[in-house]
Each structure stands twice: as structure tokens, then as C-alpha cells.
Amino acid sequence: MRALRLLVIVLGVLLVGGTLALVGAIIVRSSQPSQPRGAAPRVAPSSAASPYDAVLDLPVGAVIQSLHPAGDRLVLRLVLPDGREQIVVFDLGSGAHSGTIELRPAH
């Protein structure tokens, strides 16, 4: 009976200590600015141009149907004047055009 009482006391102390450690970790992390996991801090480019200064020449009559951030990419869905659709992908870090995906109906 004495061993059981000692076990209950030790486990209670561990439970309270773990809860306090968890609350402390939450407080410390919430006071620090957030940074994505595994991401190294980005260094500003040496050129005068901002990485977001990019130009995308849309075909005449094309309409941007949607625009979505996807991680470190920006995805634009275009509807072309002839009804075809394209997905254009930009890299947000460099502002470079990463690629274009042509959407076609299956045959």
C-alpha cells in the first residue's frame, strides 16, 4: 500500500511538472516571431529590384480566374480567350516564372 501511495505522488508531481513545462513552452514560442520550420532566413537580393517585381505578359483577352499561394509559390489560373485554361506558377523567393501548365480535356 505504501508503494502505491508513493507511485501516485510521483506520477502526480510528473503530471503537474509536465503541464507547467508545456505552458512555459507555449508562452516562450508565442513571444518569438514565427519562422517556417526548416527554412533558413532569406537574404535580401543585392540588386535594387525587389523579388516581387515581376511581369507576366498575359495573352490578349486572358482573364485571371484565381490566384493562390502554395508554399513558396504563387499559382495563377488563367482562362484564355478561346476557352482553354492554363495554370502559371511563380516562385515567390525569386519572382521568377517557374512554369506553365496547359489544361486540356481528356480524349
Tell me the C-alpha distance between 41 and 93, whole Å: 11
User: By percentage, how much of the chain surpasses pLDDT 90?
Assistant: 28
Does 89 or 105 have the greater pLDDT score?
A: 89
Q: Are 90 and 77 in contact (CB under 8 A)?
A: no
pLDDT digits (tens, 9 = 90+) for 33-44: 655 554 444 444
Flag the least confident range among 21-30, 41-50, 72-81: 41-50
Residue ranges of alpha helices (H) inside the chain are: 2-31
